[in-house]
Amino acid sequence: MIIPDSNQQIKSFKISIPLIKTVVIVAFSIIMAATISLVYFGKTTAYLYTVIAEKDKKIAQLTSLKEEQDKKIATLDKNAQLVNEKIKGLDELEEKVRRMVGLSTSTPSRGNVSRDIRGESNISYDNETTAELISEIDQKTQNLQDLISKVAARLDYLNSIPSVYPVYGTTTSSFGTRKSPFGYGSEFHPGIDISVPVGTPVKAAGKGVVTYAGWLSGYGNVVIIDHGYGIQSVYGHNSQILVKVGQNVKRGDIIAKSGNTGRSTGPHVHFEIRVNGNPVDPMKYLAKGN
């Protein structure tokens, strides 16, 4: 019932019970639906916040990992560069040795690292592998340096030994026991005699230092060269001496002119080789150079 003021009539309405029930049910349904929606929305929002937080955490972890990897890559690149420099130095030493001994240049690969691969800028090695490679390369470098010293000594020896004829002519007397050219008995001949005209240039048979240049009984004008390694060479019966004591000579340098001085029966060069002061057959050395 609606009761207005005194000037109007009372109005009355009738609402049926089923309608009230329907309204209540609809209202309750709406309220429940709203409540369920709010609960679902709240849970969904919380889940999304959790997912987002986890994503942010993973992104932070990945960012940190990337920074660490960048540092490792930089270290590996530096290691690769160090290895390349070591190998380059090793190749230079190898090339030096090859030039010293007259070998042709080669480009072999070392282990599993080829020259083509080494040239790539993106090749890296881990620290352990790099340390092993550097250690191995250092050892090979030391071996090559030792080899260079040995080769240099060998080359010095080869340049020093009296291995070429001082003159080219007819060998008239060999090393060893012979019949005396002066007509009586036999004698020991400590060298070889090479017949050549007077004035023929006499050349040093190997690199060395002149230790005697002058007159010596029996040898006439003689030059003696010390080649080191306990080896000396003797050049006798010269008409003229062209070197002085203490002078350094190389193989092939002219040291005198041939003649017929001293105990001699004709123009020739007496060539003698002494090892530790004892005469040896010169042919053992001349065979190495001829």
Cα separations in angstroms, 40 against 27, 35, 37, 49, 52:
20, 9, 5, 14, 18
- Rg, C-alpha atoms of the chain: 53
The phi and psi torsions of 206 (rounded to 5 degrees) equal -170, 170
Contact between residue 197 and residue 267 where contact means Cβ atoms under 8 Å apart? yes
Encode pLDDT of 62-118 as tens digits.
888 888 888 888 887 787 778 778 777 887 887 787 777 666 665 554 444 443 444
Instruction: For 159-208, give the DSSP string.
Output: HHS--S-SS-SEEEE-SEEEE-TTSSSEEEE-SEEEE--TTPEEE-SSSE
Distance from C-alpha of 256 to C-alpha of 261, rounded to nearest angstrom:
13
Residues (pLDDT < 70) of the chain are 101-126, 182-183, 288-290
Its pTM stands at 0.59
